[in-house]
């Protein structure tokens, strides 16, 4: 009986830890103020600014994140025209790999023609606040600052094998004034290289 | 005669690969690569582009070497999730790492695999099953050989 009680307690605490890591759908999104690698200026995101916003955790070194880069650029172009604001955030510790430095980020964003800021989360604090685990990992926040979608961009990096497009579907639902049908998906990618 | 010797050398060079890489599209079919006699079946989900996955390869080699036929290992490469991925690169990597246990070149959908094996999209993840297919052990992230060998031995002793 005692063993059963201990097991239940362990299960409850494990579940609590898991929930604490993940920003819940319906929660207010954490604000941030980060340096844009492209021009060195600080960009502030204030949830509840009335705009639908997309926060994408991505990076320079992850092949899976890079495979999604053209798709993110394409979606940004498509939805920025509808008033959606995009923020790309690199949460990787540059001391583990200099490819994540501001200079390398600027080079990548410039070369690829990012139409959104590419922000450095050098101590991974914002990634922690959102509960991001991998790159790419995306979050959609409504105009009231509430998290409405978290997870993958699409379920496959290969356009010909794509079956579900999580990010685009969430944006379409929100822009149509509807509840997001598929609010949470499993983001797959490279583990974030956390600052020690 | 000289030609025959050269041909033999060429044949040996081509067939020298130790890597056993098998294409699988359905996550439910991955377990079919295990021999039926194995009491404990361990899968390691990885990719050549995954930094912690590459770092743990020597540990996996040591874990594999510590057990006999009653514990079977299979790697599951997710390299094919990236457009333009080359199967030959995975074989070359396994050869360089002298990994001799069977590996699966997963050709299905990433989300299907993480759904089937219930992991949140982060690799490496290593999972052990008993002969009936029940999960008996799991480790998320890079593993260490000493602790893993000890844990798997404990589990093995408990299995029928």
Fold of the CATH domain B18-158: Glutaredoxin (3.40.30)
| Contact B109/A at CB under 8 A | yes
pLDDT of B114: 95
Q: How confident is the model at residue B160 (pLDDT cuts 50, 70, 90)?
A: confident
The chain B residue lying nearest A192, using CA atoms, is: B122
- Compute mean pLDDT per 10 residues along chain A, 196 residues long, and list them: 43 38 93 98 97 98 96 98 98 96 98 98 96 97 98 95 96 97 96 91
Shortest Cα–Cα distance, A164 to chain B (Å): 10
Contacts of A128 (CB under 8 A, 6+ apart): none
Contact B111 A188 (CB under 8 A): yes
The residue among A57, A70, A188 with the most chain B CBs within 10 A of its CB, best to mutate, is A188
User: Looking at residue B7, what is its pLDDT?
Assistant: 57
Cross-chain CB nearest to B83 (options A133, A157, A163): A157
The reported pLDDT for the residue numbered A170 is: 98
Q: What is the pLDDT of residue A21?
A: 74
Per-residue pLDDT tens digits for B97-149: 999 999 999 999 999 999 999 999 899 999 999 999 999 999 999 999 999 99
Pick from A149, A122, A120, A119: which is nearest to A137 by CA?
A149
DSSP three-state, residue B54:
helix
Is residue B140 less than 8 Å (CB to CB) from chain A? no
Q: CB atoms < 10 A from the CB of A98, how many?
A: 11
- The two three-digit tokens of residue B61, written as one number: 């080699």
How much is the mean pLDDT over chain B? 92
Strands (E), chain B: 21-24, 40-46, 71-77, 102-106, 125-130, 135-140
Tell me whether B115 touches chain A (CB under 8 Å).
Answer: yes
Q: What is the pTM of this model?
A: 0.88
Whether residue B116 contacts residue B28, with contact meaning beta carbons closer than 8 Å, is answered with yes
Position A196 scores a pLDDT of 81
Cα gap B89→B97, rounded to integer Å? 12
- pLDDT at position B48 is 97
- The string of pLDDT tens digits covering residues A135-153 is 999 999 999 999 999 999 9
The string of DSSP letters for A113-130 reads T-SS-EEE-TT-HHHHHH
Q: Where are the domains of chain B?
A: 18-158
**pLDDT tops 70 at residue B1:** no
Mean pLDDT of B149-160: 95
Residue A97: partners with Cβ closer than 8 Å, 6 or more residues away: A61, A193
Give the pLDDT confidence score for residue A64 in this predicted structure: 96
Note whether B76 contacts A: Cβ–Cβ < 8 A. Answer: no
* Tens digits of residue pLDDT in B23-62: 999 999 999 999 999 999 999 999 999 999 999 999 999 9
Q: What residues contact residue B93 under an 8 Å CB cut-off, 6+ apart?
A: B48
Instruction: Just give the CATH number of A25-191.
Output: 3.40.30.10
**How many other CB atoms are there within 10 angstroms of residue A161's CB atom?**
15
Rg (CA), chain A: 17
- pLDDT of res. B126: 98
Q: What is the pLDDT of residue A10?
A: 39
Q: What is the pLDDT of residues A50-74, one digit of tens each?
A: 999 999 999 999 999 999 999 999 9
A85 to A52, A92, A141, B138: CA distances (angstroms)? 6, 22, 10, 40
> From the candidates B89, B122, B143, which should be mutated to test the interface with A, based on the most A CB atoms within 10 A?
B122
Please write the tens of the pLDDT for every residue from A24-34: 999 999 999 99
Where are chain A's structural domains?
25-191
pLDDT at B8 over 80: no
A3 three-class SS: helix
């Amino acid at each position: 009986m005692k063993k059963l009680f201990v097991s239940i307690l362990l299960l409850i605490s494990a579940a609590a830890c898991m929930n604490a890591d993940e920003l819940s759908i319906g929660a207010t999104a954490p604000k941030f103020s980060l340096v844009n690698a492209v021009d060195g200026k600080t960009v502030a995101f204030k949830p509840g600014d009335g705009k639908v916003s997309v926060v994408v955790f991505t990076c320079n070194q992850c092949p899976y994140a890079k495979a999604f880069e053209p798709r993110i650029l394409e979606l940004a172009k498509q939805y920025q025209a509808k008033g959606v604001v995009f923020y790309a955030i690199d949460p990787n510790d540059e001391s583990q790999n200099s490819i994540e430095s501001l200079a390398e980020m600027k080079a990548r964003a410039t070369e690829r023609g990012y139409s959104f800021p590419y922000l450095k989360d050098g101590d991974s604090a914002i990634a922690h606040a959102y509960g991001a685990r991998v790159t790419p990992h995306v979050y959609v926040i409504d105009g009231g600052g509430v998290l409405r979608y978290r997870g993958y961009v699409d379920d496959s990096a290969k356009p010909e094998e794509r079956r579900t497009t999580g990010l685009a579907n969430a944006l379409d639902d929100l822009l149509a004034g509807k509840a997001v049908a598929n609010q949470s998906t499993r983001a797959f990618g490279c583990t974030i290289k956390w600052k020690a | 005669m000289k030609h025959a010797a050269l041909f033999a050398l060429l044949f040996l060079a081509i067939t020298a690969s130790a890597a056993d890489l098998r294409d699988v599209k359905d996550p439910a079919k991955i377990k079919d690569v295990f021999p039926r006699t194995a009491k404990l079946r361990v899968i390691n989900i990885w990719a050549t582009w995954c930094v912690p996955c590459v770092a743990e390869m020597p540990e996996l080699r040591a874990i594999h070497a510590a057990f006999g036929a009653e514990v079977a290992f299979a790697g599951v490469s997710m390299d094919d999730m990236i457009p333009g991925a080359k199967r030959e690169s995975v074989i070359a990597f396994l050869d360089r790492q002298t990994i001799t246990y069977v590996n699966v070149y997963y050709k299905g959908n990433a989300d299907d695999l993480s759904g089937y094996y219930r992991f949140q999209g982060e690799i490496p993840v290593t999972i052990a099953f008993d002969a009936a297919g029940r999960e008996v052990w799991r480790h998320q992230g890079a593993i260490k050989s000493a602790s893993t060998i000890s844990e798997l031995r404990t589990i093995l002793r408990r299995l029928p």
